[in-house]
Amino acid sequence: MDANYDAYTAERIKAEILAELAGTVETREGSYANTLVTPAAYQMFRNYQLVPQLLLAAFPDETAGEYIDEKAKDFGIVRTAGQKAHVTLRFTRRAGAVILAPVPAGTVAATEDGLRFVTLEDAVFRSLVADVPAQAEEIGRIYNVEAGAIRYLTVNLSGVESVTNPAAAEGGTDNETDAALLERYREHLRRPISSGNKNHYIAWAKEVSGIGNVAVVPIWNGPGTVKVIVAGPDKEPVGPETVSACAAHIEEERPIGAGVTVVSATAYSIDVEATVTLVDGHTAGEVQADLTAALKSFLEAMPYGEENLVRYSRVLAMLLDCEGVEEYHSFTLNGGTGNVTVAVENVPVVGAVDITDQGA
């Protein structure tokens, strides 16, 4: 049988059936056998078209969509929903203006890119400024904007001069992707879960929105203690709200007696400084960009939740592989000439990359 089910057209199926009947009955177009076989071949064709979907339902991959959800539910695994970011908005009164009514709840402020935030309470001016909690209009990590990014009002407010966010927005997370949900499902099959073992803590932590990577350190502070180190889908540190939500969820699920500490992974900068001789026609900026990209890919590929070693020789090789480098004269990694050890709780990230042209 051909494994390409699309190849089984109604015409092919009909032809194969008629070929089997040849010599026993009349099979010409318009014959009794030909007429009977035609609708049967079409129904068989329709069934063949369902086979790829049945395979996806039974053995889902990243393209399986809702079939991943259905398969994961068999093991109590549910796709985590995204969360809306929250932030404090500060309205500033125009000098000399008298504002008798508060800025009403539901007022919308936005970033330059059009990300909209909605106030949750009335903003009452008791001085030149009025602070009020606000929430992103939609879910998503993209709404975790930096301080000062929100500075546009979508409507004119009499007497209000400006709006901004003194601190960064936090807590925004994306819906769990198909790939992430499928990986959780497969992880459940690969790593047996029972009675609060290490795998159980990983599974509990990943049930919390915004957490994509988990490391567990048993007996980290003596018998009965467990440390859970969490990070986002891209191994980025998560905010205190996500850490608290994770700790609360694990507290509801864990066995009695365990002392659990949940912390966020922290970024650990890998800094590079080098003096080189450049190939004619190339600039230090080009080398810096090439080395930054290579180092970024290298660090992102490192396993999460393990003590990692960033080897001096490996990063030096990346520098020498840059098209614009003829030779190097000095090279330091985090200020030294040795390997850099990255602790379990840290995630290595590209820090300062400083390239100096010896001939400049």
Q: Please give the pLDDT value at position 2.
A: 57
Q: Residues 23, 29, 30, 36: what is their CA dihedral angle, to the nearest 10 degrees?
A: 70
Q: Please give the pLDDT value at position 193.
A: 85
Q: What is the pLDDT of residues 149-185, one digit of tens each?
A: 999 999 888 889 899 999 999 999 999 999 999 999 9
Domain residue ranges in the chain:
5-57, 84-164, 178-264, 267-357
Q: Which amino acid is at 159?
A: G
Report the distance separating Cα 313 and Cα 336, nearest Å: 12
- Going by C-alpha positions, the residue among 150, 124, 132 that lies closest to residue 90 is 132
**Beta partners for residue 86, in sequence order:** 135, 170
Report the distance separating Cα 216 and Cα 252, nearest Å: 17
- Going by C-alpha positions, the residue among 343, 351, 340 that lies closest to residue 270 is 351
- Going by C-alpha positions, the residue among 106, 99, 88 that lies closest to residue 124 is 99
Report the distance separating Cα 165 and Cα 111, nearest Å: 10
- Going by C-alpha positions, the residue among 107, 110, 178, 166 that lies closest to residue 142 is 110
Strand order in the sheet with 116-119: 150-153, 108-111, 116-119, 129-139, 84-93, 160-164
In Å, what is the CA distance from 317 to each residue of 268, 280, 293, 302, 338?
21, 20, 14, 17, 14
Q: Is 234 helix (H, G, I), strand (E, B) or coil?
A: coil
Q: Please give the pLDDT value at position 360.
A: 60
> Could you tell me where the beta strands, DSSP code E, fall in the chain?
84-93, 108-111, 116-119, 129-139, 150-153, 160-164, 213-218, 225-231, 259-264, 266-278, 308-310, 325-333, 340-342, 346-357
Q: Please give the pLDDT value at position 3.
A: 63
CB 165 within 8 A of CB 149: yes
> What residues in the chain have per-residue pLDDT under 50?
none
Mean pLDDT over each residue of the chain, to the nearest integer: 91
Topology of domain 178-264, per CATH? Alpha-Beta Plaits (3.30.70)
